[in-house]
Structure 1
Amino acid sequence: MEINPAVTFKHDRSVMYAKRPKVLIVGAGLAGLTLGMLLDKAGIPFEIYERAPKVKPLGSAMYFSGTIAPMFRQCGIYDEFVNIAKTVSGMTICNEQREVEYVLPLEGHQELFGAGGYIVARPKLYDLLYSQVPPEHLHMGKKVLSMDQGGNGVILRFSDGSEAEGDILVGADGAYSAVRQGLYDKLKKEKRLPTGDGLPLPFTTVYLVGQTRPLTAEEFPDVDLPSCQFRTTIGTDKPYSWKTFTTKQKTVCWIAMQFLDDESSKENDAFRNSEWGPEAAQAMCEQVRDFPVISGSTKGVTIGDLIDWSPKDMISKVMLEEKVFETWFDCRTVLIGDACHKFNPSGGVGATNAINDAIVLANFINGLPFHPIASEIEDAFKAYKKERIEWVKKAFSSSAMFRTQAGPSLAAKTVRFVAKHVAAWAMRKVEMRVLSNRPSVAFLPMQEDKGSVKPVFQPSLLAKAPVEEKTDSSEEAVVEGATQAV
């Protein structure tokens, strides 16, 4: 297939059979799987291409509030999600003496927003979403080498020599997105790329993340408590903080975060990579082994114990880039999740926003006419970004604040002081503003939202699927009569 931007098909939809656009999704992460699941339910053809040859059970725990509940309920997987997650009532801030400094409450969400807050191990959530996508649409070991788009479609070329053709290309392939890189290279040559989008991804922190095997109450008593024990410990006179989360599976997910200065940034720059993996983690494991952890016992558990209890393939080191890109789409190509906005995970908003991107984009793709032309597709992408961008900017600011709160700087100490003494009503007001964004899927049966704080208006709910025009009854009679005569 040759892609020529100057060539477009002349559309006469009155003589064409009803055809939905075929969507090529690059990246089988949370965003890509969610989009695939939704497109499958909409009856829109799609394929997902993932460069990794197999799924790696990496990542720590993630926090989810009521913002994803409507879509999960519409898809019939909310109960499954609750079964693998653990309720959380607050985030506890601790010091190195294993003392509680203060608690940021996360209570009352069920009444306010129609769903509670949950902590879930990332591999468990990944498995749930993975199970919702028909396996014949998932293609592993597909590394993108190049891409082209134009008036008559998109084409991907992979390192194994194969190609894929479609109508829409979605980059859901993470912070170092190959789709974004290919798109930006093209826009840069055409002098249409904003200067800021061409700069390297900035990073201020490095994370060491892992998850233990299931633990006994003797090893870590808090795993038996009914709610998640979500704790952040602030390092004393050291550029580190660390977090622990107890899970439904009686494992402990843990994170050690290093705050970088000019010198340590240079040391870690060689590690700048989109791959998570255990190979680069060993040195950092040694640096953080002695960090104290609250476990519910008097045995003096440390990060080192958690490391020793964690399978090596469940430990990884990753750079924490932070940026919201200005360019999210062009022509038939669009970006979602970390490919267009990368948050520091301290705020717990990265996965939520990736999933919400997928919901809104699926709504607008479903609303495209049969045989959409490039300009119609691009208009849908514009509407997608318009609906999402302000929520993304709020989430970016929130994640930056939570990252600062956990740090060693004077600004961090100020944020912690304010958080410790701020009135409960002020915190609740912030929650209400953020959690009023609870997007639903336009083409699935709507679920009753029982929260006292109602969801804000969602423009993409107005996007309706095209309806195939039926042949006029008189014409049908003529055709039927002619057939009988023959």
Structure 2
Amino acid sequence: MASSQLKVLIVGAGLGGLTLGLLLEQAGVPYTILEKHAGDLLPLGSSISLNQTIQPLFEQLGMLTELEDISKPIGSMTFLKESMNKIGSLDLYSDCVRIMDRPSLYKLLLSRIPSERIITGKRVCDLEQNRDGVLVRCTDTSVYMADILVGADGAYSSIRRCLYRDLRASNLLPKSDMAPLAFDHHCLVGVTDPIDPIYFPELTRPTCDMMVVIGKDKPYSIRQEHHIRSSDWGPAQVEEMANACRDFICPYGSTLADIIDKTPKERMSKVLLEEKGAAQAMLDAVSLANLLHELPSTSAQDIQGTFEAYYKDRVSMGKAAVQGSRHMGRLSGGHKWTETLIRSMFLNILPSKVQQTILDKMLHHRPQATFLPFVPDRGEFKAKSQVQSKRIRSLSGLCLRLFKQSP
């Protein structure tokens, strides 16, 4: 089947939705991205780290140099007590993990998507599936149809809500999916104005060394289950949280007040630390794009087979990512005596070679777009093998044009 015969609708222009759109653009698969926010797309959030699992894709797309330009390699993660006494440190091997501000990454991905592919101000309120495909209705009464619908609209997805409604009506929704989402970490994030390097010289270094302060009995250092209410996330709650944190000691000097005061209020937000983040959504996009490129036809049977293959490819990876995130969250912020003991043992007793082996296994799955020329597999620990598509393609559109313009 020619890829151009397939039509894909993506709901949500976040990092996952943009990555899928970018890949479908290169695969020659027609797609449209519906974004609920009207007007210009605003890149929100603070920082995000990308490890070697996703960097090969950026190299394939001719974007690795730009990714490196907007990021810094992370050399280590150091854990401190509130007294600033060192608990221990974890070597992250700076060539594997890079950290950047989320808006810069968002702008980089957005720069490769043709503007006509994204329609803003489209809040999906309902969907309907039939033999002809899938139909979505938006709150402004507009309607869109496609062969495949992809929900990339976050934790409180309108697409998931509609699917769960239909599954519940058919008595097919598992009990575990009926419970409301619960998160165990609150975060205050923001994008600051440039901070004077005289006061924070560490910020001028070529590498980023992360500092984690394990507070004791502080308002936002105790893990607890929390069910979401929209009233918890307004400007007043952000200001309340910022004020409660102002006097916290900053490992880079002085207190958090200096950083908070340098951050415009409109760039600050209160968020929940999710256990499966944007990096996993980007990896999901690679797997799905590879399968859609090889889709034999738009028949219900072939589409079902494709999504079964997608589930088989990603379910174990998704579960491992959630478990890994939980363990990392407990390592970096747990307050129970068992968590404190495990943190101390992991950082100070476990040999660095064992730590490296654990990290290497986490980086085993480094997928590339099978329909684009593969880039070299870097590193001593080899990636999981992939089969190259028989219908190989070259870079096209904005990716090719901007790649040729880069120095």
Q: Would the TM-score normalized by the shorter structure come out above 0.5?
A: yes
Mapping 1:13-412, distance limit 5 Å: 19-53=4-38, 54-107=40-93, 110=95, 116-238=96-218, 240-241=220-221, 259-260=223-224, 265=226, 269-271=228-230, 278=235, 280-295=237-252, 300-321=253-274, 342-343=275-276, 350-370=277-297, 372-405=298-331, 406-412=333-339
Q: Which residue pairs with 1:414 in the alignment? A: 341
Relative distance call for 1:361 and 1:278 in structure 2 (3 A) is farther
List per-residue Cα deviations over 1:422-447 (Å, max 9, x = no partner).
11122112112110110010111111
C-alpha contact 1:206 1:260 (8 A) present in aligned 2: no
Query: Which amino acid is the alignment partner of residue 380 of structure 1?
Result: T
List per-residue Cα deviations over 1:223-249 (Å, max 9, x = no partner).
1111113111110233544xxxxxxxx
Query: Which amino acid is the alignment partner of residue 364 of structure 1?
Result: L
Structure 1 unmatched runs, 5+: 1-12, 111-115, 242-257, 322-341, 344-349, 468-486
Relative distance call for 1:155 and 1:162 in structure 2 (3 A) is same
C-alpha contact 2:3 2:27 (8 A) present in aligned 1: no
Q: Which residue pairs with 1:7 in the alignment? A: none
* SS of alignment partner, residue 185 of structure 2: strand
Query: Which amino acid is the alignment partner of residue 229 of structure 2?
Result: A
Once residues 310 and 87 of structure 1 are traced to their aligned partners in structure 2, the CA distance between those partners, rounded to angstroms, is 24
C-alpha contact 1:239 1:259 (8 A) present in aligned 2: no
Shift of 1:18: 7.7
Number of equivalences = 390
Query: Displaced runs of 4+ in structure 1, greater than 3 A?
Result: 276-280, 461-467
Query: Which amino acid is the alignment partner of residue 310 of structure 1?
Result: T
Once residues 364 and 400 of structure 1 are traced to their aligned partners in structure 2, the CA distance between those partners, rounded to angstroms, is 29
Query: Which amino acid is the alignment partner of residue 156 of structure 1?
Result: V
Shift of 1:203: 1.7
Once residues 293 and 234 of structure 2 are traced to their aligned partners in structure 1, the CA distance between those partners, rounded to angstroms, is 36
C-alpha contact 2:88 2:344 (8 A) present in aligned 1: no
Query: Which amino acid is the alignment partner of residue 18 of structure 2?
Result: L
Query: Which amino acid is the alignment partner of residue 95 of structure 1?
Result: K
Shift of 1:98: 2.5
Once residues 146 and 211 of structure 1 are traced to their aligned partners in structure 2, the CA distance between those partners, rounded to angstroms, is 35
Shift of 1:127: 0.7
Shift of 1:219: 2.9
Q: Which residue pairs with 2:364 in the alignment? A: 436
List per-residue Cα deviations over 1:396-421 (Å, max 9, x = no partner).
11111121121322232122122222
Structure 2 unmatched runs, 5+: 394-407
Shift of 1:143: 0.3
Relative distance call for 1:364 and 1:463 in structure 2 (3 A) is farther
Once residues 3 and 295 of structure 2 are traced to their aligned partners in structure 1, the CA distance between those partners, rounded to angstroms, is 12
C-alpha contact 1:33 1:133 (8 A) present in aligned 2: yes
Once residues 227 and 422 of structure 1 are traced to their aligned partners in structure 2, the CA distance between those partners, rounded to angstroms, is 25
Query: Which amino acid is the alignment partner of residue 410 of structure 1?
Result: W
Once residues 373 and 5 of structure 2 are traced to their aligned partners in structure 1, the CA distance between those partners, rounded to angstroms, is 21
Greater displacement, 413-422 / 170-179 = 413-422
Once residues 18 and 41 of structure 1 are traced to their aligned partners in structure 2, the CA distance between those partners, rounded to angstroms, is 11
List per-residue Cα deviations over 1:186-211 (Å, max 9, x = no partner).
11111122221222112222111112
* SS of alignment partner, residue 357 of structure 2: helix
* SS of alignment partner, residue 149 of structure 1: strand
Shift of 1:283: 1.0
C-alpha contact 2:48 2:101 (8 A) present in aligned 1: yes
Shift of 1:173: 0.4
Q: Which residue pairs with 2:399 in the alignment? A: none
Mapping 1:465-484, distance limit 5 Å: none
Q: Which residue pairs with 1:113 in the alignment? A: none
Greater displacement, 140-149 / 400-409 = 400-409
C-alpha contact 2:4 2:29 (8 A) present in aligned 1: no
Q: What's the C-alpha RMSD, in Å, of the aligned pairs?
A: 2.2
* SS of alignment partner, residue 249 of structure 2: coil
Shift of 1:144: 0.4
List per-residue Cα deviations over 1:62-81 (Å, max 9, x = no partner).
11111112111111101100
Shift of 1:466: 11
TM-score, normalized by length of structure 2? Answer: 0.90
Greater displacement, 35-44 / 213-222 = 213-222
Relative distance call for 1:229 and 1:425 in structure 2 (3 A) is closer
Once residues 156 and 64 of structure 1 are traced to their aligned partners in structure 2, the CA distance between those partners, rounded to angstroms, is 33
* SS of alignment partner, residue 125 of structure 2: strand
Shift of 1:119: 0.7
TM-score, normalized by length of structure 1? Answer: 0.76
Determine which structure has more spread, i.e. the larger CA radius of gyration: 1
C-alpha contact 2:182 2:228 (8 A) present in aligned 1: no
